[in-house]
């Protein structure tokens, strides 16, 4: 998986010109030498863990009702499941399984790293599925084991009615426009807003790569929260140039415009927005997985240089989000919500770290430049980067 492209044989320019966020694409044998990196038993084991998001969806076919249960589950729950019509979904499996995480880097140079949200893995028995639905983001569906039948509908409008009798966001009306049976290694791309409905044909596993696509409510809410921290009581509504009020009862258009400009001047901060966006987009999905070092345990440049010179390796922490950003004449590295300026001499090292396959370490050899050592020390202290000794076990396959 380290070097094999996910969309084998596909022209990237053609994909973005004709399909990306426009129309679905079925690609047979996108991964021709596919080996499913996870067994159903291992997926069920993840669903027992309290730190892992999991769901169990069962379909009472006679009443056409869907039941939703949230994990973590007990082992005996799986022993009581029927022979058909249920599916187990486990979120962010790439955080826990290196071979699944490698799927996300297979999209490198096709989709920006920050756009990839996670890899959800599902296991379903005959007839299992989540019903007809749509997503607000791009989805790449890779068939892992067995067969799954996918029915596609037309793009959904905002007014599309949903079923009121389901805990899931299921479409009430679903018009089938295409019907595909996916085999292991096949890939189906579904653009945002397109109705789709997958059902297992016998036991099967599907890997769903979801893209991150913030909506306007998220951007407004989080950006204005950041803006509020910079507001000052000395920046107030002022109308020192106004004439005497001729119509005391009225809120004049000029008054409205003065208030609007005061607001816009604070919100329309291009450079501040760029810095904030880099920080926000790099925040980890599960912040509780990271434990920054206490001040008295901070890594020193001398210690780090010595350990790297002895063959130490650098390993990005699973679940970390890394991105590079250039705005306002500055280059920044943003990792797990921390953004830091980069000197030109440390940019190459930062790019290496950002482009590492998940669970793959970097052995940079002796590092003597103060800016590079300072950068690595900060990353280690914030728990975004682990420093492994030279005699540590090799990377997982």
Q: How far is CA 175 from CA 151, 196, 197, 198, 369, in A?
A: 9, 10, 11, 14, 61
Q: What's the total number of domains in the chain?
A: 2
Residues 6+ apart with CB under 8 A from 172: 160, 161, 162, 163
- Looking at residue 203, which CATH number applies to its domain? 2.60.120.650
Which residue range(s) make up the domain with 158? 12-211
What is the spatial distance between Cα 91 and Cα 395, in angstroms, rounded to a whole number?
24
Which domain-ending residue is among 188, 211, 234?
A: 211
State the Cα–Cα distance between residues 21 and 194, nearest whole angstrom: 9
Label residue 19 exposed, middle or buried (CB < 10 Å: 0-12, 13-18, 19+).
middle
Does any domain span residue 261?
Answer: no
Considering the domain architecture, whether residues 206 and 306 belong to the same structural domain is answered as no
In a domain, 224, yes or no: no
φ, ψ at 170 (rounded to 5°)? -100, 140
* Domain edge (last residue) among 211, 241, 256: 211
Residue 230 corresponds to which tokens in the numbers above?
């910079």
295 and 186 part of one domain: no
Q: What is the pLDDT of residue 110?
A: 81
- Give the helix/strand (H/E) hosting 352: helix 347-354
Asked whether the beta carbons of 262 and 237 are under 8 A apart, the reply is yes
For residues 205 and 294, membership in a common domain is answered with: no
Contact assessment for residue 198 and residue 129, using Cβ atoms and an 8 Å cutoff: yes
Asked whether residue 229 is domain-assigned, the answer is no
Can you tell me the distance from the alpha carbon of 251 to that of 354, in angstroms, rounded to the nearest whole number?
53
Indicate which CATH number applies to the domain containing 325.
3.40.366.30
Q: Are residues 328 and 190 in the same domain?
A: no
Domain boundary residue, one of 192, 211, 230:
211
Residues 165 and 72 placed together within one structural domain of the fold: yes
Residue 169 lies in a domain: yes
40 falls within a domain: yes
- Please name the residue that has the structure tokens 């809410």: 221
Tell me whether residue 150 is in a domain.
Answer: yes
Q: Are 133 and 35 in a shared domain?
A: yes
Distance CA 367, CA 361 (A): 16
308 in the same domain as 195 = no
Determine, yes or no, domain membership for 122: yes
Same domain flag for 192 and 293: no
Helix pair angle (347-354, 370-381), 10° resolution = 30
The series of mean pLDDT values per 10 residues for the chain, 397 residues long, is: 52 88 93 90 97 96 94 96 97 92 77 91 97 95 97 93 92 95 95 97 97 94 94 90 80 92 92 94 94 93 94 92 92 95 94 84 89 95 93 74
Same domain, 74 and 194: yes
Could you tell me if residue 393 is inside a domain? no
């Amino acid at each position: 998986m380290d070097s094999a492209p996910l969309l084998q044989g596909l022209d990237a320019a053609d994909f973005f010109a004709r399909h990306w966020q426009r129309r679905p694409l079925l690609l047979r044998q996108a991964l021709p030498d596919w080996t499913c990196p996870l067994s159903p038993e291992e997926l069920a084991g993840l669903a027992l863990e309290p730190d892992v998001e999991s769901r169990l969806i069962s379909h009472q076919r006679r009443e056409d009702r869907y039941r939703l249960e949230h994990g973590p589950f007990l082992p005996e729950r799986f022993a009581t499941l029927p022979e058909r019509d249920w599916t187990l979904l486990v979120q962010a499996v790439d955080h826990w399984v290196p071979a699944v995480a490698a799927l996300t880097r297979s999209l490198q140079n096709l989709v920006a790293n920050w756009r990839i949200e996670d890899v959800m893995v599902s296991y379903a028995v005959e007839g299992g599925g989540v019903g007809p639905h749509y997503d607000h983001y791009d989805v790449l569906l890779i068939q892992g084991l067995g067969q799954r039948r996918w029915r596609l509908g037309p793009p959904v409008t905002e007014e599309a009615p949903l079923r009121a009798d389901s805990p899931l966001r299921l479409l009430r009306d679903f018009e089938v426009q295409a019907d595909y049976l996916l085999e292991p290694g096949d890939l189906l791309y579904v653009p945002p807003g397109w109705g789709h409905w997958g059902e297992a044909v016998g036991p099967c596993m599907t890997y769903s790569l979801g893209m991150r696509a913030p909506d306007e409510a998220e951007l407004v809410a989080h950006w204005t929260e950041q803006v509020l921290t910079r507001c000052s009581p000395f920046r107030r509504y002022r109308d020192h140039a106004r004439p005497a009020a001729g119509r005391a009862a009225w809120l004049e258009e000029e008054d409205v415009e003065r208030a609007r400009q005061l607001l816009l001047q604070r919100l329309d901060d291009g450079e501040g927005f760029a810095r904030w966006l880099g920080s926000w987009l790099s925040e980890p999905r599960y912040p509780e997985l990271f434990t920054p070092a206490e001040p008295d345990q901070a890594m020193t440049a001398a210690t780090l240089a010595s350990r790297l010179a002895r063959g130490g390796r650098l390993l990005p922490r699973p679940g970390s989000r890394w991105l590079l950003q250039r705005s306002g004449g500055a280059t920044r590295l943003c990792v797990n919500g921390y953004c830091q300026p980069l000197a030109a001499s440390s940019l190459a090292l930062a790019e290496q770290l950002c482009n590492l396959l998940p669970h793959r370490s970097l052995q940079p050899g002796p590092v003597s430049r103060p800016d590079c050592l300072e950068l690595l020390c900060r990353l280690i202290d914030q728990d975004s980067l682990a420093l492994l000794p030279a005699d540590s076990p090799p990377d997982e396959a």
